[in-house]
Amino acid sequence: MNVDIYYSGKRSSTKFLVVPAGTSVSDMIFPHDPDLQHHDVNGLKLFKCDVPADVIGGTPDDVASQIQAKGYAVCSSVAGSEKTKN
């Protein structure tokens, strides 16, 4: 599964929002989710586009199950994030 990865440009959040590749996050509605705060989705910026889910911290199966259940996944680490976000 390939995904697009976003981060919040409004606050120094360490969370990443992961969606299926090609998904428009501007049209998404985020219900109350204990893993995702309001400030986490303000001003989302594309971090990586159309990449394999295995670049995400955790397991690709966890990401896939979150996406299947909610339409998105929340992750706290992404390979290469420390280099790109600085």
Q: Which CATH number characterizes residue 35's domain?
A: 3.10.510
Distances (CA, A) of 86 to 12, 57, 66, 80, 82: 11, 18, 28, 11, 6
Q: For the chain, how many structural domains are there in total?
A: 1
Tokens, residue 79: 């390979």
- 57 or 4, which is more confident: 4
Range of the domain at 67: 2-84
The model's pTM? 0.78
> Cβ–Cβ contacts within 10 Å for residue 18, how many?
27
Per-residue pLDDT tens digits for 17-49: 899 999 998 888 777 777 676 656 767 889 999
Query: Strand pairing partners for 3?
Result: 20, 51
Residue 71 clears pLDDT 70, i.e. is over it: yes
What is the structure's pLDDT at 12?
A: 57
